[in-house]
A and B are shown apart, each in its own frame.
Chain A
Amino acid sequence: MAIVEAQNLVKKFGDFDAVKGISFVVEEGEVFGLLGPNGAGKTTTISMLTGLFPPTSGTAVINGYDIQKDPLQAKQMCGLVPQDLALYPTLSARANLEFFGRVYGLSGKKLKENVEDILRVVSLTDRADQAIEKYSGGMKRRVNIAAGLVHQPRLLFLDEPTVGVDPQSRNYIFESVQRLNRERGMTIIYTSHYMEEVELLCNRVAIVDQGKLIALDTIKNLVGMLGGGVLRIGLKQADAILLDALSDLPAVKNASLLQTVTQTPPEQKEATIQVAQPVTVKVETKNSQQALIQVINYLEEQNITLLSLDILENNLESVFLHLTGKQLRE
């Protein structure tokens, strides 16, 4: 059963088109990833779905409620965990959670039960009455997540929850997402520009770039469409004849010039030999091992100097590279 149905969502801020007609469906019980670089339109999309602002055009339905026609009912279904620590530091964790529970309509015994429950989930019962300004960063993160869960939403939006977070807290967030989905059947929409997070947590992924949805599928299917992986080779220069010749190699599917070249994030699983990058050629392969040998042999035969070589394992990063001709950037 679909819990989110987004149809051709568009958002314009003046002359700037932040989201250019995104459509997708999220099934109940899924962990759905929205992957894309900064500025791709992920947060704008989430903001429209959570009713922060209306779409310029298009519609979205949350659990049967249109976000524009029945915004309050749609919002009641959702919990939002923003990237920032959206809390009141001088109040205690309990006071914060009680407040957010009340704005979602909870009161009395139900409010108390939910607050106690969520404090247990985030392991903060012992320090619940302490002002959160005295908490460690990780503890604040836990309260930040708890504040989005206190009313027990059916759908939870986690908007880049690991940005600026230490590794321990990041692991805690991963565990929480998996536990909430597994034990409580909560549907989760998780936005990130870290592909490993999305690979680890999500069943399906929508890849967004420049306000457009450029791919939507399971991770397995997305990675599978690349075949044998991608080589990135740095050369002094490259022309159409060279690209055609590389494309004709038996283990190569296609060779093309990269539009932009940016620094590779350190966590990317790749071997890098960097010298200089006047020109970078992307070589999509049927089999990366065989293609590597064939490309190097060809360049030697043609007496072309190889300046750098990256071998990208097939993952969402290479999928993004394949689809956009550029990398997911920090």
Chain B
Amino acid sequence: MKILSIVWKDIRIFFKEPGYLIYLVVLPLVFIQLFTTLFAASVGPSTSTTSQKIRLVVVNQDPDGALAQEFVRKLEDTGTLQILPATLEEAETDYKDTRITRYLLIPEDFTEKVTAGQPAEVTFKALDSMSLTIQSMKMIIEGVANGMQLERNILDSLTLFSEMQSSAPPEFQIYDIDVLTRQAQSQFIASEERPLVAVKLEFPQAATVAPEDDFSMVQFSVPGFTVLFAFLVAQSSARSIYDEKKTGSFRRLLAAPLSKFALLSGKLLPNLFIVLFQILVIFLTSIILLPLTGVGRLSLGEHPGALLAISLCVALCSTSLGILIAAIARTEAQIGGVSALFLWLMGFLGGTMVPLDILNSPMLNGIARFIPHSYAVNAYKDVLIQGADLNAVLPALGILLGFSLIFFLIGLWRFDFN
């Protein structure tokens, strides 16, 4: 109860300080927006000429087939896809080199099979199979395929009836409109049960998504800046303890019937909640509001529950770091200095601002192994981009908890209650 009073008081103070909110919640979103926009512009042609269309490389191995041509045309007619024709060799090379993250392959016997009423299969290859964009594109392709198939089936039925009726005497021409309708419905059901054109989604087990478009960069920038700013909360936590000591309210709390454990817990738990709140706002904004600005939507991956576990570990680690900073920095200037050194430098070296795999520096990769940020960023990316589950990120979470314990114990040892 007493701990909760301190927690509630600190949270109220936090939300009454617009500066904190701007620094810890608004600023990361601004960074994400800027980083995503600038980076996307630097790695490929601008998407502005095609408005909000999603680019799709199509390898049509049945270029002379009428139905294959029709299939491609109908994909373009959906208004949501920008079709980029390519040969199989070009597409495979770009896909392997991660210059593109997906392409559609129409086989050479597509028209022949569909015309003959045999099942045909188009292949949709994607690096990031679970992202919202890929799932949406798959649905669009399936929709076009189903539409074509239904149309084909109904046309076949009507042709069949027409042939049957034409050879019969007038008194035996029994196929009135009701019979025709029932037959069309039967064909519709059959088309659903036995798809004529199937869309096969192919994706690698583990892959690194290259920055092909805005969407992918959101997947990179959101975890990076989320981790950077989540750890920056440690600075505000240390400052809160410093302010209490400076004004004398910490002394007043020490004189209250509270154990030191309760007092310290009460001062640190708000940090935990603020980090979780901050991550929630950043993720929700990246899903709901960022797409409105034209930089793409964040996909939560296949196992969003794992994100909660990562966020809890990040919050815990940030909180422990807050104790450490509060313990070793005795003045406001020291808090600023230590925070700049610890948080911003660690953030950079931990790959929160620029992905370490892009920098491709063995030295930086070696340093990152000693920085909690790198484990947090990688865990988020594994879940968000590669669809990893909780088990896959458990080693990273274990290391984050290890960092938390080390920070907490050193902080507690050095913390000056007096």
Interface residues of A (CB under 8 A from B): 47, 50-53, 71-73, 75-76, 78, 80, 82-88, 90-91, 95, 99-100, 102-105, 107, 131, 147-148
Contacts and interface: CB of A to CB of B under 8 A. Distances in A.
B251 A86 contact: yes
A86 B247 contact: yes
10 contacts: A72-B258, A76-B257, A84-B247, A86-B249, A86-B251, A87-B249, A91-B13, A95-B12, A102-B5, A105-B257
Interface in B204-250: 247-249
Contact of B251 (A52, A71, A72): A52
Contacts of B254: 51-52
B182 interface: no
Given A53-B417, A102-B5, A88 B255 contact: no
A104 B257 CA distance: 6
A182 to B, nearest CB: 25
Interface string B259-301: 1000000000000000000000000000000000000000000
A78 B255 contact: yes
Question: Which 6 A-B pairs have CB atoms at the shortest separation, nearest pair first?
Answer: A84-B248, A86-B248, A102-B5, A86-B249, A72-B257, A50-B255
Given A78-B255, A84-B248, A88-B13, A107 B1 contact: yes
A99 B253 CA distance: 10
Contacts of B258: 72, 103
Contacts of B5: 99, 102-103
Contacts of A83: 248
A82 B244 CA distance: 13
Interface of B: 1-2, 5-6, 9, 12-13, 16-17, 247-249, 251-259, 417-418
Nearest to B250: A86
A47 B417 CA distance: 12
Given A53-B417, A53-B418, A103 B256 contact: yes
Given A51-B254, A103-B257, 13 more contacts: A52-B254, A52-B418, A53-B418, A73-B257, A75-B257, A76-B257, A86-B248, A86-B252, A87-B247, A88-B13, A90-B16, A103-B6, A105-B257
Given A52-B254, A75-B255, A103-B258, A91 B9 contact: yes
Given A52-B418, A53-B418, A104 B256 contact: yes
B313 to A, nearest CB: 30
A78 B253 CA distance: 12
Contacts of B248: 82-86
A75 B251 contact: no
A83 B248 CA distance: 8
B48 to A, nearest CB: 44
A106 B35 CA distance: 50
B418 A100 contact: no
Given A87-B247, A103-B6, A82 B252 contact: yes
A80 B251 CA distance: 9
A47 B9 CA distance: 24
Contacts of B256: 75, 100, 103-104
A75 to B, nearest CB: 4
Nearest to B262: A103
A88 B249 contact: yes
Nearest to B417: A53
Nearest to B9: A99
Nearest to B3: A103
B53 to A, nearest CB: 49
A105 B17 CA distance: 27
B245 to A, nearest CB: 10
Contacts of A47: 251
Nearest to A46: B255
B96 to A, nearest CB: 57
Contact of A91 (B1, B12, B251, B257): B12
B13 A90 contact: yes
A90 B252 contact: no
A253 to B, nearest CB: 44
B16 A102 contact: no
Contacts of A84: 247-248
A52 B259 CA distance: 11
Most buried by B among A83, A85, A88: A88
Given A52-B418, A100-B256, A82 B13 contact: no
